[in-house]
Amino acid sequence: MKTYQAPPGAEGTAAPGAAPAGRPGGGNSRPWAGLAILLLLLLIGVIGAFGWWYRAAQAADGPGRPDANARVGTLADPAERQAELDRMAEEGMLTFGINATPSFENGSAKGNLMIENPPENGNRFTVAIYRRDTEEKIYQSGYLDPGQVIETAPLDAELAEGEYPCVAYFDAYSLGDDSYLGRAGAEITLYVLE
């Protein structure tokens, strides 16, 4: 067996195979790494458990459970309920009439628009006509109640001779309280003859 001796003044250096100074037992750091990994896994587990608990607590604030006194059915008489549903469907439907190819003698003359709000319609409406190419509004009616018609009317803009693809928008309103119900549209082509 060989022994090594350090020269004088060479403290802190070790001979080959000797343990470094300050680390008894050969300096093995693996027990500390294992402990660090164990602590890290424990921390991940705690965070995961908290997340699961938090989600479960949030879910408890939902609608809860069904009411014990609830039953399947309706309070209204089935015939009355059907009548109400029919009335709502009629209010939601919009029936209208308009000439798909109205013509005007010139840009300021009346044309045969033939706008109709049929008597069976359950609501009033107004009509606005827009040019397709420029999106300019060229006609705006007042409201028409069921059973009213506009046979002829001039446009609100004077147009030159030509053919004008347009869209006529029908805005529907409730007869009872004038609340807005919705819009329907129809493609038409206006002709200005001179």
- Euclidean distance between CA atoms 4 and 159, whole angstroms: 114
Beta bridge partners of 129: 139, 168
With bands split at pLDDT 50, 70 and 90, how would you rate the model's confidence at 76? low
Pick the CATH number of 87-192 from 1.10.340.30, 2.60.40.2550, 1.10.1240.10, 2.30.30.90: 2.60.40.2550
Instruction: Provide the token pair at 90.
Output: 């009629």
Q: Quote the pLDDT of residue 20.
A: 47
- DSSP string for 51-75: HHHHHHHHHTTSS-S--TT--SS-S
Number of helices (H) and strands (E) in the chain: give both, helices first.
2, 9
The answer to whether the CB of 96 falls within 8 A of the CB of 76 is no
Residue type for position 179:
S
Instruction: Indicate the domain borders of the chain.
Output: 87-192
pTM reported for the whole predicted model: 0.55
Q: Quickly state the pLDDT bin for 29 (edges 50, 70, 90).
A: low
pLDDT higher than threshold 80 for residue 67: no
**168 in Cβ contact with 118 (< 8 Å):** no
Averaged confidence pLDDT in the chain? 77
What confidence tier does 163 reach under pLDDT thresholds 50, 70, 90? Answer: very high
Q: What is the DSSP letter of 122?
A: S
Tens digit of pLDDT for each residue in 108-123? 999 999 999 888 888 8
Nearest to 159 by CA among 188, 184, 182, 191: 191
